[in-house]
Amino acid sequence: MNCNPVSSSQPAVEALVRELDVLIRARYPLIAVSTFEELRFRRIITAVAQLERHAPKGLFLWSRTQGLRQVAGPQVGASDKVIPGCEDPLSVLEHIAQAECGLFVLADYAPYLAPFGQEEPQLVRTVRELAWSIKSRPVTVLFVGPGFPEIASLDKDLKRIDLDLPDEPEVRHLLDAQLQQLAGNRDLKLEVDEDTHGHLVQALLGLTEAEIENALAKAAITFRGVGPDAIPLILDEKRAVIRQSGALTYSHPEPATNLGGYANLRRLLEEAAVTFTPAARAYGVEPMKGLLLVGLPGTGKDLTKKIASSILGRPLLDLDFGAVMGAGGGVLGSAATSIRRALAIATTVKGILGMSEFEKAVSGLQSSDKTDGGETARTIATLLNWMQEQQEVFVLATANDVRQLAPEQLRQGRFGQIVFVDLPTPEDRADIFRVHLAKRGRDSQAFDLQELAAASDGFSGAEIEAAVKAGLLDAFMDGSRELTTADIVRRARAIRPTSEVKREEIEELRRWAKDHLAIDAVRAEPGAGARFMEF
């Protein structure tokens, strides 16, 4: 196994080497490492095996295609030492059970323990008895793969750890290594000053080591070198990788001017942006966890996510919880693996995690044991625990029917604030009309915004947009003449707003917001300038 040594410029990798060292010395018999980067993990475990206290044990690697091989340690020469008779999943466990010492890495072993989402009883029992038998010996079994199934009988004997995506120092190290390699090619031109280097690092965050190498190679071929032109290409590659994850969508930001009205909501986003600045961190200000926007559909909650991306200067990653639960076709543990990968990307990128209809995403918690063996409950728990502990990502969730939310899903530390997005006031409606007219190339000063606001009493932002679009169509069909205030008013009067249809629901939402001390998206409370309330 050819592995480059772990560099001292990779603190995150060094931390994992230390963690594995401690777990092995503490005689944890079974360790499950979740990662898509097996080659990167091999380098890390090789670094562990080369430590003086572990070197005599030997490092062994098993896969179904190549069987068991000793790749480091005593009696290993220039090539790997093949251990005969250990090709299948059961025989390798029988061999380990007889071993006096060793670090055994079993690659992609999880599917054999739970094929098609169902536990394989004999193999699970064998693994469990193996854990008991090696507990008193210097023998450690490490399962490495994209995920490891939730098997209750192994929970007490198995330690789970995640191999995080390369963080900023490691990405910087990988970039420098690739640039050094490319520098030897006279046909390539490198134009990487300090500023470009920093932007390249930020563009590469969120990718695996192999994806980083591929993106840089593609840029080098496309531009016959690497320079500022490579940054947009790498960002496109990252967007494609994020889409392939299935659970995340990379959304483009929208200018802050596209949010009409809701002045207090805009102020909250600006305050959130301040909390993530280095100066605020140095001063002791904690980053704002995020916002839960509660309100009727059409009030601009999803638009706010894109506005937040612009104000905070962070990429917006929308989480599709339905795709998470559909990952792997129901294979045991696949949804939890999918959500962990999505959250790892969001954390590494340090972006904004958007979640639409949060109440639906976290529903099904109570019935999970009966409907899917607890898969939904475990996945939701993974999400909620991450929300509680993380401090690098701004979470912006929206909810329409808050009655579906359980108290533990709103408790302190999961969101910075709960914001109630009510129907826009007359002033807000006038501002929203101004935004939609401007987006369609019209000068808002040519229209009577006060008359439009009066004609749209009870309208949501989506209904105001619908009136503008319909009025514009009328003007076009009437000889492509200029759009007038009367065109929009006439169309607005033909719309029956949601506020009339769902009057009781709106009042119930307002009562809920008052009971939960939600912040008004329109008006700031007196003296609330820099105050952050925890819910």
Span 509-522, pLDDT tens digits: 888 888 877 888 88
Overall CATH class of domain 11-162: alpha beta
Tokens 């010395």 — which residue? 25
Question: CA 196, 345, 36: angle at the middle one, nearest 5?
Answer: 105
Q: Cβ neighbours of residue 404 under 8 Å, at least 6 residues apart?
A: 359, 360, 363
Maximum alpha-carbon separation in the chain: 89
- What residues contact 437, with CB distance under 8 A and at least 6 apart? 443, 444, 447, 468
- State the pLDDT at residue 529: 44
pLDDT digit string (tens) for 159-205? Answer: 999 888 888 889 999 999 999 999 888 889 999 999 999 999 989 98
Q: What percent of the chain has pLDDT over 70?
A: 90
Q: What is the residue extent of each domain of the chain? A: 11-162, 168-244, 251-423+515-520, 426-459+461-496
Pick the residue with more confidence: 460 or 364?
A: 460
Confidence at residue 366, expressed as pLDDT on a 0 to 100 scale = 55
**Contact of 60 with 70, CB cutoff 8 Å:** yes
Amino acid at the residue 137? R
Q: Kindly report, residue by residue over 114-158, the tens digit of the pLDDT.
A: 887 788 999 999 999 999 999 999 999 999 998 888 888 998 999
Distance separating alpha carbons of residues 138 and 186, to the nearest angstrom: 51
Extract the tokens encoding 287.
Answer: 């980053």
Which residues have C-beta within 8 Å of that of residue 425, sequence separation ≥ 6? 261, 522
Task: Give residues with Cβ within 8 angstroms of 131, minimum separation 6.
Answer: 29, 30, 141, 154, 157, 158
Instruction: Check: CB of residue 256 under 8 Å from CB of residue 307.
Output: yes
CATH architecture assignment, domain 426-459+461-496: Orthogonal Bundle (1.10)
Range 241-268 average pLDDT = 87
Q: What is the mean pLDDT of the chain?
A: 87
For the segment 203-232, what is each residue's pLDDT rounded down to a tens digit?
A: 998 899 999 999 999 999 999 999 999 999
Q: Which CATH class is domain 251-423+515-520?
A: alpha beta
Exposed e or buried b for every residue in 243-256, given b needs 16+ CB within 10 A?
Answer: eebbbbbbbebbee
- Residue 59 host element (H or E): strand 59-63
- Tell me if domain 11-162 and domain 426-459+461-496 are identical in fold: no
What are the structure tokens assigned to 226, written together?
């690497």
